[in-house]
Amino acid sequence: MATLSLLLSIIGWIIFAPVALVGTVFAIETAIGLAAGRRRDAALPLDPQEIALVIPAHDEAAGVGAIIASLKAALSPGVRMLVVADNCSDDTAAIARAAGAEVIERHDISQRGKGFALAFGRDHLRGQPPRAAIVIDADCTAEPGALERIAALAVATGRPVQSCYLFSPRRDAAPMVQISNFAMVVKNLVRQNGGRAIGAPALLTGSGMAFPWPMFDGAGLATSDIVEDLALGIDLTRQGHAPIFDPVARVWTQPSTAGGTLTQRTRWENGFMATARRRALPLIGEGLRHGRPALLWTGLHLLTPPLALLMALNFFIALLLGLLVLVGMPPASFAAALALFGVNVSLVLIAWAAHGRDQMGIGTILRLPLYMLWKLPIYLRLIRGGETRWIRTERE
């Protein structure tokens, strides 16, 4: 009997170990991110004429004019605004020109994707290179001064700078959209801020990213990777140029419909998890071998699943261990799994109280268990090979 109990105990801890690792990473980033506040790293401002804004756009005729007007209002006169109309089948280019942006058009259906559009824009800028290049998506706006702030910080530090990229609050959106928007707050604000506070590299999130020109000029942009920003940030971290997160600079995008949000999440999370499969363990190994904590933590962050999947895994592992307790397993691993789940649920609720009230109503919290079921198609798609296409998200 004692031998069986010991065997079940070992099995229990083996089952719990992977969830314990990634759940602890999540807890550390979230707890420290909530406690750290918004430190104001600042740099001497650049001349606006030394900054170039690169806006990749694919069939954005419906909104690109308003976006350009909003960005112009948030920027000082003189900032160069370059729209790359990439494989467009609508009037994106003409509308962007009429709104006052510099526009170049690219037509190559054999090479579709944001990375190719950015490389095309960079090639155009080489004729008159700026000191800082900023990438912002064609559906995003920025708070006044935010983009110039991250441009100055990038030049001063010689490192890429990621702004805080969030969905604009929409309390009238469908409940699943509200929850998804709040999950982005946890990912792109709270956890990024926790990583900043412990000195870990930021993850590049695709929009509101600033680069010193020499770094942007040499970056491997021309790729069909659907999370090209994530891969670029990892490569720069390995090269010793770890991205910096700026929690003060805010960039906003409008949330999509429920169907569009599911499409968008499928692309983002499949791309993230595919990158994690390829690169997380090698990064951890490289960090340990060469004594590089930045690589080690980046690998651990990549191993940590998106919020809904992490919570579901922790819950079902606790449930499985509880069943094993009923057949004679000592309860220690079950208690640990239950405690970790409780800690992370509490941290998520604190994050909602601190940063998510405008994103999600209190009644919507009760739908959190349904959110995992709503996202089930994302994970089924991952099992079948993952999303590999570059798909424009439908928006409100």
CB-based burial label for 28 (10 Å; 0-12, 13-18, 19+): middle
CA–CA distance, 25 with 215 (Å, rounded to integer)? 30
Instruction: Give every CB contact of residue 246 below 8 A, 6+ residues apart in sequence.
Output: 41, 149, 150, 153, 161, 162, 163, 164
User: Domain range holding 199?
Assistant: 48-278
CB hemisphere CA count around 124 (13 angstroms): 23
Q: What is the mean pLDDT for each group of 10 consecutive residues in the chain (396 residues)?
A: 85 95 97 85 86 95 95 95 95 95 92 90 95 96 95 96 94 84 94 95 94 94 75 92 95 80 71 85 95 95 90 93 93 96 96 92 78 69 53 54
Gap between the Cα atoms of 189 and 217, Å rounded: 28
Q: Are 291 and 208 in contact (CB under 8 A)?
A: no
pLDDT at residue 371, rounded to an integer: 75
214 Cβ contact list (under 8 Å, min separation 6): none
pLDDT of residue 48: 94
Q: Residue 34: inside a domain, yes or no? A: no
Q: What is the C-alpha separation between 134 and 56, in angstroms, rounded?
A: 11
pLDDT digits (tens, 9 = 90+) for 107-153: 988 888 888 999 999 999 999 999 999 999 999 999 999 999 999 99
Query: What pLDDT shows up at residue 63?
Result: 93
In this predicted structure, what is the pLDDT of residue 388? 47
Q: Is residue 5 domain-resident?
A: no
So what's the pLDDT on residue 262?
Answer: 67
Say whether 210 sits in a helix, a strand or coil: strand
Q: Which residues contact 374 (CB under 8 A, 6 or more apart)?
A: 176, 262
pLDDT at residue 346, as a whole number: 96
In tens, the pLDDT along 72-90 reads 999 999 999 999 999 999 9
Q: Decide if 154 contacts 210 (C-beta within 8 A).
A: yes
CA distances from 234 to 24, 42, 159, 258 (A): 22, 24, 13, 31
For residue 344, being part of any structural domain is answered with no
Domain count, the chain: 1
Give, in order, the Cα–Cα distances in Å from 131 to each of 35, 149, 182, 184.
34, 13, 35, 31
The Cβ-side half-sphere exposure at 2, using a 13 Å CA radius, reads 0
Beta bridge partners of 133: 52, 211
26 belongs to a structural domain: no
Is 255 among the domain residues? Answer: yes
Distance of CA 161 to CAs 14, 75, 80, 309, Å? 39, 17, 19, 28
Q: Tell me, yes or no, whether 182 lies in a domain.
A: yes
Q: So what's the pLDDT on residue 224? A: 66
Within a domain: residue 339? Answer: no
CATH classification of the domain holding 253: 3.90.550.10
The verdict on residue 319 lying in a domain is: no
